[in-house]
């Protein structure tokens, strides 16, 4: 599956709650338990499903955080994601960055690799956004050329 990058840089395609990965109650329970264990964050099992931040809000679209300020900011500025913003990385985004070392520190021990892949890697957005931001900064914009001068 191709990477699906949310406005904040999270990888929806790796998230257990994402619609294409969510095969039912077992995944929803595992997702809810993982958030509680590693982030001390509780999402009810029945709400552990997400259509992704890129899903258009027409019809019955479900998002894990319907009030996400980062998504609202990106949409207001009409950007693809935070890496395209002139203020990248802003304080609001920095608060959302996830790092394995920080999660392990909070957890009190190393995270099993399978749990890292499921509960940390999808949300390690700084590296994802930094790579996009670097490509944008290094993109050369061709100079506009005027009409050629006629030789006399």
Using one digit for the tens of pLDDT, what is the confidence trace for 104-139? 999 999 999 999 999 999 999 999 999 999 998 776
* Mean per-residue pLDDT over the chain, rounded: 87
Distance of CA 65 to the CA centre of its chain: 12
Task: Report if residue 96 sits inside a domain.
Answer: yes
The structural domain count of the chain equals: 1
For residue 145, is it within any domain? no
Bin 78: left if φ > 0, else alpha if -120 < ψ < 50, else beta.
left
Q: Is 72 part of any domain? A: yes
Residue 28 lies in a domain: yes
Q: Is 109 helix (H, G, I), strand (E, B) or coil?
A: coil
75-79 contacts, C-beta under 8 A, 24 or more apart: 75/7, 79/7
Does some domain include residue 53? Answer: yes
Please give the residue range of the domain that contains residue 102.
Answer: 12-138
């Amino acid at each position: 599956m191709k990477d699906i990058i949310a406005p904040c840089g999270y990888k929806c395609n790796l998230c257990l709650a994402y619609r294409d990965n969510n095969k039912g109650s077992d995944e929803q329970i595992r997702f809810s338990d993982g958030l509680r264990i590693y982030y001390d964050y509780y999402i009810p099992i029945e709400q552990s499903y997400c259509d992704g931040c890129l899903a258009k809000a027409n019809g019955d679209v479900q998002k894990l955080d319907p009030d996400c300020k980062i998504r609202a900011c990106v949409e207001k500025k009409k950007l693809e994601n935070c890496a395209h913003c002139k203020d990248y990385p802003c304080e609001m985004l920095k608060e959302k960055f996830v790092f394995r070392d920080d999660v392990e520190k909070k957890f009190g021990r190393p995270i099993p690799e399978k749990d890292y892949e499921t509960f940390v890697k999808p949300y390690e957005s700084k590296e994802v956004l930094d790579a996009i931001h670097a490509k944008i900064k290094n993109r050369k914009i061709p100079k506009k050329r005027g009409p050629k001068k006629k030789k006399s």
